[in-house]
Structures are given as C-alpha cells and as structure tokens.
Copies of this chain bind each other. A is one copy, B any other.
Amino acid sequence: MNSFGRLFRIILFGESHGPAVGVVIDGCPAGLRLAPADFDGDLSRRRAGRPGTSARREPDVPKILSGLLENRTTGAPLLIRFANEDTDAAAYEAIKDTPRPGQADLVSRRKYGGFSDLRGGGHFSGRLTVGLVAAGVVAKKIIRPAAVAARLVEAGGETDIEGAVAAAVADGDSVGGIVAVEVRDLPAGLGEPFFDAAESVIAHLVLAVPAVRGIEFGAGFRAARMRGSEHNDPILDARGTTATNHAGGISGGITNGNPLLFRLAVKPTPTIPRPQATVDLRTGETREILFPGRHDACLALRLPVVIEAVTSIALADLMLLDGQRRRVMGEL
C-alpha cells in the first residue's frame, strides 16, 4: 500500500512520467517550522548530475499545497508536490512488449491487468523517492536532536567508490553498493513489541526503497558467525551504555540509547547500455534488446539521502508511538 506509519503517516503518489510526484504527510505535529529552503540540502543530495548518475534533469522544487501557514505546520496534512518536467513518453514504447530484466515491467503489467503505467517504471520508479526525501526533511525535524547519517561505504565491492563507478561506466555496465547508517542521540525506548520492533519498522521502509536487497543491524550477518561471549555487549551503566555495540543500538526490538547502526545492500542498476535477454510478449520468444532510458550507473550513489529519509520517518513514528509527542512539541 502507498501509506506507511501509524501516527506519523506518509502517502506516496505519482509516476515517473506522469504530471507530478510527491507525498502527503498526515499526523505531523502542529507548530513545526518549515520553509521551502529547508528542502534544498537533501533534495540536492538526491539530485542527479554527478558522474554515474542519470541524464534526467528535474528542478525538484517542492510546492506545499496544504498544512502550512506562515512557515509553521498547522496539524492538517502536508501535501508536498513536485512537478515532473523532464519526461519522455517515448520510453514507454520500447518496453511495452519486451519487459526489462530486473524491473517491475512484467509483474506490474500482470498484477494490474495491463493497466499499470509502464513509462519509465511508472509508480515503481526511483523518481518516487523524491517524495520520501521531502517527508524525510520533516521527519528529521521531529526526531531532533537525534541525527541520521547514511553514507555509501562500498561500490562494486570496493571502497574507492568513484573508481568502481567509473570502471563500470567505461565497461557499459553498472555496480551495486553498500550504505552504512548511524543514528546518534536517539532516545532509548523506541520500538513497540512484538511486531513493531525498531528493526522491523526500519527494515520495512528501507526494503521498500527500490533496489535495496538486504539489511543488517549491528554486527548483522557477522553475528551469525560469532560466539555469545564475543557478541554480547557488556552493560556499563544504568543508562544502558555498552562497551561494544554489536547489537547496533537495539535490544529486544527497542532502542537502548547506544548509537543505532545498520547497513544495507543495493543492487546494481538493472538497465544498462548493453543488450539484454528478455521475452517478446507478442511472439513468446526471447531476444536481445538494448533498452533505452536514462539511468544511474550506480543507483547507490543517490541513495544515502533517501535512506536517511526513510530512517527518520520510521523513527518519527516510533517516537510518537512511544508517547513522546509532548517532547516533540516541546522541541518546536
């Protein structure tokens, strides 16, 4: 479904080549200061333009259509809309009968009875993440002083990220990457057992971001190879500070006051400047197709700010669920 959250709720709308994309935020506390300029930093981090990113150019100017008065949230839903300006209808024809490998073309056609908007991936496009980034700007204000920092730590298996991307571009190929996230100054107590463990809520949102294929908290997959005596984090004081942080800041699904740490895997961009094998739905036969389109050579390059956004959205909701609205209101 296109909504997420229990108290801080977001609804994502739009398509890659439709008139607009954006987000509605319902449940945002009233009185939060919010100005159009607040979005500039995060939107520009998400924007294409660097080597290895798509040729599509969108100005990404947020237009707030409701819920704001004199640069303060009113308690009514915030609607933040971005016009799509650099669209390309021709993209549709190429994939109409030959679905792209690694994309939603074939499954969306089937699930929606042939009526889904396939142009540029439609509602499945990474273009939708601009709405997430916008909601993240609001969520980041709510969770203050907690601060989420995501960064790309590896591309194509290498820490020289620019080099790995350049090599892939040179080869007419793409690469995946690893994003590492750290949240500091997060209050303890976030997470609602049994099912809304902090890991569950964060993973739910992070794995909804196109191209994310895995997530691990704290020591993560390494924990599976550790002994208990090594993995346990000794508790140092009554506030719960631990000597190590293999738990990644979460105990029993609840944040424990130590830094929240997780990592995620991003797959390589599926559409590459090389022919790929797919089926021709008109004939039922397979053929090699060179798919057009403007794509990042490394999707992961633009993802850290999106991951910061969804993490902040998850934490904002957990904070309100934990009854911390008074504190949030007090921060305004």
Contacts and interface: CB of A to CB of B under 8 A. Distances in A.
Contacts of A213: 199, 216-221, 223-224, 248
22 contacts: A1-B9, A3-B3, A20-B66, A20-B79, A66-B123, A75-B112, A77-B123, A99-B240, A111-B188, A157-B224, A177-B224, A195-B208, A196-B208, A203-B215, A214-B215, A214-B223, A215-B215, A215-B216, A221-B221, A222-B265, A236-B286, A237-B279
A173 B66 contact: no
A200 B215 CA distance: 11
Q: How many copies does the complex hold?
A: 4
Interface of A: 1-4, 6-7, 9, 11-15, 18-22, 24, 26-27, 30-31, 65-67, 69, 72-77, 79, 81, 99, 101-104, 106-108, 110-117, 121-124, 128, 154, 156-157, 168, 171, 173-178, 188-189, 192-197, 199-201, 203-205, 207-208, 210, 212-238, 240, 242-243, 246-248, 251-256, 265-272, 274, 276-279, 281, 284, 286, 300, 320-323, 325-326, 329
Contact of A235 (B173, B279, B325): B279
Given A207-B203, A223-B267, A276-B234, A24 B24 contact: yes
Nearest to A5: B195
Contacts of A3: 3, 9, 11, 26, 195
A301 B270 CA distance: 37
Given A207-B199, A232-B102, A76 B123 contact: yes
Contacts of A196: 1, 208
Given A1-B196, A101-B233, A247-B102, A221 B265 contact: yes
